[in-house]
A and B are shown apart, each in its own frame.
Chain A
Amino acid sequence: MSDHLARFTVSFLRSLRIAVLTVVAVILFFLVLPNLLARVSAQPGPAVQLGGYLLLVAALVADAVLVARDRSWGRWRWPVLLTLLAAYLGFTLLLPPGAVFTIDNWFFSAIGWFGVLVLFDRPLVSVVAFVAGCLAVTAVPVVLLGPADRPALVGLGITAVSVGGFQVLTATAAGALRRIAGAAASDAATAERARTRREVARQVHLDRRRRYHEIADTARPLLAGLADGTLDPADETVVRRCAIEAARMRRLFAESDDIGDRLLNELRACVAVAERRGVLVNLIVQGGWPELPREVRRALTDAPMHVLSTAVGAARVTVVGSTEVDQRGNAVRTVAVSVLADQPGTPAVSGVEPTETSGVRTTSILDGTRVWVEATWRADRGSPGAVR
């Protein structure tokens, strides 16, 4: 995702949350508070009335703090909502019979809103469930104290539809906006990825075309010479040139699988240089690896490429990525770059002390006129790449 859009999505969702918070604050202070003050001394008495109200104000303030810090309620949301529901249940049971469906029950017009607030980042169905829970609590006195009269039931219906409906509607609108913002962000991310892929593919394509031309420049005279008889296929140098051209072509044909891998691109560049000096290089790749930090790539390629740059005759270059399981059962990514090459004038001593840089261990073995260098990176050696 582009940074711009990511920032926009985050700030948009935050604004939406502030809007819902403002709606609830207005309802609590300008709709519920006057109702409460008008009947503060009625049953169940000022202490319970004000206590209930302060509990709601505390929940509102907590939400405001979370919004300011850009945090979600997380695992606290259900305990908080259950506490509010329990308080509301106590309140309705303390109300005089018949008052539950009247304006005396100011608590009812407020509590559902806290579902909208606290469940802001949850699916709509959880808000609906909470509002339904509030309605069920409201109906508890009816069950306990026997059926209410007709006007009371009608009152309940009207209150349920008007208050609950408004709350669910707000939650629906907020949810829809949240989904749209999410979809926009993911669309933009997809578009961004596609753009990057296209750009990489374009670069790779250009690079490959260039190398096809280069191969044409070196292979064509060779083929022409073989065809018109000016080059002798039995001649050692001709055989050698053919082998080098074949290896280059094989590599070019095999490349489609690993578009834009930096480690391989760096190795290929070194291989190409060695080939220009007439070294027959066989490059073989197995497995995959994550994108490696530059210092890891450098440590992996340093010693092998040094060998390659002084090689004569033939060289075998391998890159292999794998996942190992360590003693504690964790999966550990490894990448190994190895070069085995003919080198003139190397002493026939075997086994050179291993060295370690940037989490890469390098070992060397000398075998007659051949030298074998292997650099291995392990993700658990505390290198910069280990976090991946």
Chain B
Amino acid sequence: MASGPRITGRSPVRAESSRITAVILDDHPAIVAGVRAWCGQADPPIELVDAGDQISRLWTEPGASADVVVFDLHLGRQPLFRELARLVDAGRQVVVYSQRADGPTARECVRLGAFTYLTKAEGHQHLVPAIQAAARNVPYTPPALSGAFYADDGPDRPALSNAERETLRAWFESDSKRLAAHKLHLSVKTVETYIERVRIKYANAGRPARTKAALLERAIQDGLVHPDELAG
């Protein structure tokens, strides 16, 4: 990472003990109610400071200072890629939460700098961990996104090792890191490392964004990747 993107906005790493705040953009009251319930049951609880189907909710208080934005990509007729890019540019941590599972959309969100992409079918298990991970800048790749990375056959896809690809697929298929590890004769820790490495590679290939900078910094600090690997 010879010329890394500048870090803008608030400090990316927050104290893990403090309370996490989130704001959700979604037009279905049932979804909002469900997310509110999950956030309330989370340990520690996540405070959902605002919710609604207006994008202005994300830019005005109290939503404007929420740690994490839960973003329904398919609010309108077209996916809200431009709105997503604007949020990312403003240094927001965005968890895209969509009813659609198609790979190109998920990968485009990641490329634009979304923190992660989550399908609504995965929400029950993965939304709260994803919000918590977003607040701590720890990569979080839910199974559907893992499948989208595995299925990527675009010309500019990052180069992945066979072990990384097999891990992506096993995690996508089983939704269980323990089972994936068992199948591939790896430890759960190694499975997590492979998945994180892939996420870092995609962050590195994406456009400059605070998410990218934060993920790469953290990955280098944790010794997950060597700076030389990300060059070029």
B108 interface contact, C-beta 8 A: no
A275 interface contact, C-beta 8 A: no
A321 interface contact, C-beta 8 A: yes
Shortest distance from the beta carbon of A263 to any chain B beta carbon, whole Å: 14
Proximity string of chain B (95-106) to chain A, C-beta cutoff 8 Å, 1 when within and 0 when not = 000011111000
A96 to B221, CA, bound (A): 92
Contacts of A282 in B (CB 8 A): 121
Cβ–Cβ contact B144 & A316, under 8 A? no
A257 interface contact, C-beta 8 A: yes
Shortest distance from the beta carbon of B166 to any chain A beta carbon, whole Å: 10
Shortest distance from the beta carbon of B193 to any chain A beta carbon, whole Å: 21
Contacts of B99 in A (CB 8 A): 250, 253-254
Cβ–Cβ contact A286 & B144, under 8 A? yes
Proximity string of chain A (353-373) to chain B, C-beta cutoff 8 Å, 1 when within and 0 when not = 000000000010101000010
| 8 Å CB contact of B174 from A254, A340, A350 | A340
Given contacts A336-B169, A338-B173, A340-B175, contact A323 B101 (CB under 8 A): no
A-B contact pairs, 26 of them (CB 8 A): A250-B120, A253-B99, A286-B147, A286-B151, A287-B103, A287-B150, A287-B153, A288-B151, A318-B147, A318-B172, A320-B150, A322-B151, A322-B152, A322-B165, A322-B169, A323-B153, A324-B165, A338-B174, A340-B173, A365-B179, A365-B183, A367-B179, A367-B182, A372-B174, A374-B173, A374-B183
A42 interface contact, C-beta 8 A: no
Cβ–Cβ contact B121 & A372, under 8 A? no
Shortest distance from the beta carbon of A239 to any chain B beta carbon, whole Å: 12
Cβ–Cβ contact A340 & B101, under 8 A? no
Given contacts A340-B173, A350-B182, contact A284 B103 (CB under 8 A): no
Proximity string of chain B (155-170) to chain A, C-beta cutoff 8 Å, 1 when within and 0 when not = 0000000000100010
For chain A residues 6-20, which have a beta carbon within 8 Å of chain B?
none
Chain A residue nearest to B162 (CB atoms) is A324
Chain B residue nearest to A289 (CB atoms) is B151
Contacts of A322 in B (CB 8 A): 150-153, 165, 169
A285 interface contact, C-beta 8 A: yes
Shortest distance from the beta carbon of B108 to any chain A beta carbon, whole Å: 14
B148 interface contact, C-beta 8 A: yes
A323 to B102, CA, bound (A): 17
A338 to B176, CA, bound (A): 13
Measured CB to CB, the residues of B under 8 A from A are 99-103, 119-121, 143-144, 147-148, 150-153, 165, 169, 172-176, 179, 182-183
A282 to B151, CA, bound (A): 19
Known: A257-B102, A322-B165. 13 other contacts (CB 8 A): A254-B99, A284-B121, A287-B147, A320-B150, A321-B151, A322-B152, A336-B169, A340-B174, A365-B179, A365-B182, A367-B179, A372-B173, A374-B183
Contacts of B102 in A (CB 8 A): 257
Chain A binding surface SS class: strand
A340 to B120, CA, bound (A): 20
Measured CB to CB, the residues of A under 8 A from B are 247, 250, 253-254, 257, 282, 284-288, 316, 318, 320-324, 336, 338, 340, 350, 363, 365, 367, 372, 374
| 8 Å CB contact of B101 from A247, A254, A336, A372 | A254
A322 to B101, CA, bound (A): 16
A363 to B172, CA, bound (A): 16
Shortest distance from the beta carbon of B53 to any chain A beta carbon, whole Å: 19
Contacts of A284 in B (CB 8 A): 101, 119, 121, 143-144, 147, 172
Cβ–Cβ contact B172 & A286, under 8 A? yes
The 5 closest A-B pairs by CB, nearest first: A287-B151, A286-B147, A338-B173, A323-B153, A286-B151
Contacts of B147 in A (CB 8 A): 284, 286-287, 318, 320
Chain B residue nearest to A247 (CB atoms) is B121
Contacts of B176 in A (CB 8 A): 340
A180 to B195, CA, bound (A): 56
Chain B residue nearest to A336 (CB atoms) is B169
Shortest distance from the beta carbon of A252 to any chain B beta carbon, whole Å: 12
Cβ–Cβ contact B103 & A286, under 8 A? yes
Cβ–Cβ contact A320 & B121, under 8 A? no
A320 to B144, CA, bound (A): 10
Cβ–Cβ contact B173 & A336, under 8 A? yes
Contacts of A257 in B (CB 8 A): 102
A350 to B144, CA, bound (A): 25
A253 to B102, CA, bound (A): 12
Shortest distance from the beta carbon of B106 to any chain A beta carbon, whole Å: 9
Contacts of B173 in A (CB 8 A): 316, 318, 320, 336, 338, 340, 372, 374
Cβ–Cβ contact A316 & B183, under 8 A? no
Contacts of B165 in A (CB 8 A): 322, 324
Cβ–Cβ contact A340 & B179, under 8 A? yes
Contacts of A367 in B (CB 8 A): 179, 182
A318 to B179, CA, bound (A): 15
Contacts of B100 in A (CB 8 A): 254
A316 to B171, CA, bound (A): 12
Shortest distance from the beta carbon of B201 to any chain A beta carbon, whole Å: 15
Contacts of B143 in A (CB 8 A): 284
Shortest distance from the beta carbon of B150 to any chain A beta carbon, whole Å: 6
Cβ–Cβ contact A320 & B172, under 8 A? yes
Chain A residue nearest to B119 (CB atoms) is A284
Contacts of A324 in B (CB 8 A): 165
